[in-house]
A and B are shown apart, each in its own frame.
Chain A
Amino acid sequence: MSRRFTPKVVTGNDLREGDVIYLTADDRWTRHHHEAELIDDEAHAEIRLILASQQTGKVVGPYLADARAGANGPEPVHFREAFRTRGPSNYFHGKQAAQPDA
């Protein structure tokens, strides 16, 4: 028996900037985890990942990362993914320093 599927988001890094990006439900790439499409169906996740993998001019190394529903949209589950939503802990650099665009 395969393990039960846990919800995912599609994520990777932006080709030009290297910044962490996420695939949205309407096929855009966003810099914000909470705007990502939360995928709870395994077959759909595969399809979304294939779509992402074809966009080699935009995203590098797309993969499926565990996520869960939160008050403002999907939240990361693993600490690595949580760090990716923020930036490093030794400097106020990366996403945490970027202007939140509403």
Chain B
Amino acid sequence: MYTYNEFDEGFVRTRVAQFRQQVERRLDGSLTEDEFRPLRLMNGVYLQLHAYMLRVAIPYGTLDSAKMRQLAYLAERWDKGYGHFTTRQNIQYNWPKLPDVPDMLDALADVDMHAIQTSGNTIRNVTADHFAGASADEIEDPRPIAELLRQWSTDHPEFQFLPRKFKIAVTGSPNDRAVTRSHDIGLRMVRNATGEPGFEVLVGGGLGRTPMIGQVIRDFLPKADLLPYCEAIVSAWNTFGRRDNKFKARIKITVHEMGIDAFRDIVEARFAEIRPEFSGVDQALLASIEAEFAPPAFRTAATDAFDARYASDPVFRAWADTNLARHRAEGYAIATISLKTPGETPGDATADQMRVMADLAERYGHDELRISHEQNVILPHVHRADLPAIYDALKAAGLATANVGLASDIIACPGMDYCALATARSIPVAQQIALRFEELQLEHEIGEIKIKISGCINACGHHHVGHIGILGLDRAGVENYQITLGGDHTETAAIGERTGPGFAYDEIVPAIERLIDAYLDLRDGQDETFIETYRRLGMAPFKVALYGEEAQTGGRARAA
């Protein structure tokens, strides 16, 4: 875990002090809203539908127990006793009052946290694989690089007024759990011919209004070149990005309009120019950051307690089968704590639940926690011997839902229950889908499926890359939900395809059920997942399931 040095601490404290004065001046009338708005956004304060919202960065999704407890404290002291974990590995508080925000930021600074650059046209919170440092399939822990990028991008004078926001994601594993292909820059660790680790650099990915899959700008970048290369990319886009049109300002449009080859030429030229300026200070810094991310001292212990409980308790077994992932250390596991109990709000945790997770991390998990972009919490390093005790504690806190990767493990953005930009609600749709599949008791039968819901075209709920994507829209003053199929958020990323006309609020859950029923009928055996069936058969049978046979043949009959 990275600990702030004097510089970080001083910088964050100064920012809070400045913001405190800015808030005072806004409240006493010395600043207008037009003057204040950019200042509050720089510090993560939004004005949403019903209240202000404070978005706190959780860099690369990593927390320790002290940080998690402080998040719980903020929720209780200044909010309504809960927080919402987002697809960008941030946490959002939905009810702060403006005069309280400086105190909240000070409390965050007490545990080396902040809300800087969680908004505005800057480089946002750098996200990473939530299994980083733990996963069996990993080349190297990507978090030191993510921390280096955080330090480099924080208050970077050249990049405070970018054409639009800019998002970087990094993974150290060939299995991409960080959705790197939908980021402005995606960094995937790979090995070159000599076995040396470096990065495949992707550029121009993004969801939102014009969804695009990132393209490879460099197939192998040595680690030592990472910072200057990223700087060259942002710098090229900063120069050529479309500041004239907000909807065309993201780097994906620049890359698309210019073509990846032309864009690469500009980046490489800029890189050649600035590379000599990076004298190695960044590498020295990286080495010291890497030391802070040294793996914990894994212990060796018997796993009898786990094995016995696994054999005797089917409910524990279901949880273990669903929520555990393979760890790189012998005897260890990665445990995902689902924040998706059917009927609850995806990604929400109460202050009490946060404290339980913090306690478990401290007691059993080498004091580490992660937030996933799928809005769950992870104990990355737990010994199997401790899993029965962990499970019991989770269960008592309402945190033992065994649904990771299943139909009710839905990503949902806040939608029109909170978000000022929303065109429809997403949370209740997620709640109802999850409750419906729980009622049908079909989830484990259905197996792996990714349902992702956004409340507007901005796609914070990643609907484009869901196996089933749902987009809430406003159609003539009524909520309407468009379905996409075949999206993929992994290393084989793909944008889902629209099925056809959307569904009303009370039609969307039955529509999703028809899709899944169709899959169960059509699949080639139990092992074929939803996405595999979709890839084999294409859209047609699912369209029939959604709209009926007539809708399919009707058009053709008329054409004949």
The yes or no answer to B530 lying at the interface (CB within 8 A) is no
Contact status A13-B47, CB under 8 Å: yes
Q: What is the distance, in angstroms, from A9's C-beta to the closest C-beta of chain B?
A: 16
Residues of B within 8 A of A89 (CB): 417, 425, 427-428
The 8 A CB mask of B392-421 against A (1 = contact, 0 = none) is 000000000000000000000000111000
Residue of A nearest to B505 (CB): A79
Say whether A35 faces chain B, with CB atoms less than 8 Å apart.
no
| Residue B501, interface by CB 8 Å | no
Q: Does B363 contact A (CB under 8 A)?
A: no
Residue of A19, A56, A79, A84 near B478 (CB, 8 A) is A79
Can you give 15 contacting A-B residue pairs, CB < 8 Å?
Answer: A13-B47, A15-B26, A15-B27, A15-B33, A15-B98, A18-B52, A18-B95, A20-B49, A57-B29, A79-B474, A80-B49, A83-B49, A83-B425, A88-B50, A88-B94
Chain A residues positioned under 8 Å from B50 (CB to CB):
18-20, 84, 87-88, 93-95
Per CB-CB distance, the 10 closest pairs between chain A and chain B, nearest first, are: A88-B417, A18-B51, A18-B52, A94-B50, A90-B345, A57-B29, A90-B427, A56-B32, A89-B428, A60-B33
Is A17 located at the chain interface by the 8 A CB criterion? yes
Given contacts A18-B97, A79-B478, contact A90 B428 (CB under 8 A): yes
Q: Is A51 an interface residue (CB 8 A)?
A: no
**Among A79, A87, A90, A91, which residue has its beta carbon within 8 angstroms of that of B477?**
A79
A61 touches B418 (CB 8 A): no
Q: Is A44 an interface residue (CB 8 A)?
A: no
Q: When A18-B97, A93-B80 are in contact, do A60 and B47 touch as well, CB less than 8 Å?
A: yes
Pick the contact of B97 from A16, A20, A79, A94 — CB < 8 Å? Answer: A16
Q: Give complex CA distance A60, B98 in Å.
A: 12
Instruction: Tell me how far the C-beta of B167 lies from the nearest C-beta in chain A, rounded to whole angstroms.
Output: 26
A90 lies within 8 A of B431 (CB): yes
Q: B99 an interface residue at 8 Å Cβ cutoff? A: yes
A interface residue numbers (CB < 8 A to B): 13, 15-20, 56-57, 60-61, 77-80, 83-84, 87-91, 93-95
Minimum C-beta distance from A81 to chain B (A): 10
Alpha-carbon gap, A78 to B29, bound state (A): 33
Name the distance in Å between B71's Cβ and chain A's nearest Cβ: 18
With the chains together, A17 CA to B52 CA distance in Å? 7
**Which residues of B in the span 488-546 have a Cβ within 8 Å of any Cβ on A?**
none
Looking across the interface, which residue of chain A has its beta carbon closest to that of B427?
Answer: A90
CB-CB under 8 A from B425, the residues of chain A are 83, 89
Smallest Cβ distance from A19 to chain B, in angstroms?
6
Known: A80-B474, A87-B50. 18 other contacts (CB 8 A): A15-B26, A16-B27, A16-B97, A17-B51, A18-B48, A18-B50, A18-B51, A18-B52, A18-B96, A56-B32, A60-B33, A60-B47, A78-B477, A83-B417, A88-B50, A88-B418, A89-B428, A90-B427
Check if B80 sits within 8 Å of A91, measured CB to CB.
Answer: yes
Contact B345 A84 (CB under 8 A): no
Residue of B95, B96, B97 ringed by the most chain A CB atoms within 10 A: B95
Q: Give the distance to chain B from A8, nearest Cβ to Cβ, in Å.
A: 15
List chain A residues, Cβ under 8 A from B477.
77-79
B98 touches A18 (CB 8 A): yes
State A78–B479 Cα separation when bound (angstroms). Answer: 10
Query: Could you tell me the distance in whole angstroms from the C-beta of B317 to the nearest C-beta in chain A?
Result: 31
Distance in Å: Cβ of A80 to nearest Cβ of chain B:
6
When distances are taken between beta carbons in the complex, the residues of chain A under 8 Å from B345 are 90-91
Asked whether A61 lies within 8 Å of B427 as measured between CB atoms, the reply is no
Q: Which residue of A lies closest to B48 (CB)?
A: A18
Name the distance in Å between A22's Cβ and chain B's nearest Cβ: 14
User: Closest chain A residue to B52 by CB distance?
Assistant: A18
Cross-chain contact B99 with A94 (CB below 8 angstroms): no
Residue numbers in A under 8 Å from B98 (CB-CB):
15-18
In the complex, what residues of A have CB within 8 A of residue B99's CB? 16
Nearest neighbor of B344 in chain A, beta-carbon distance: A90
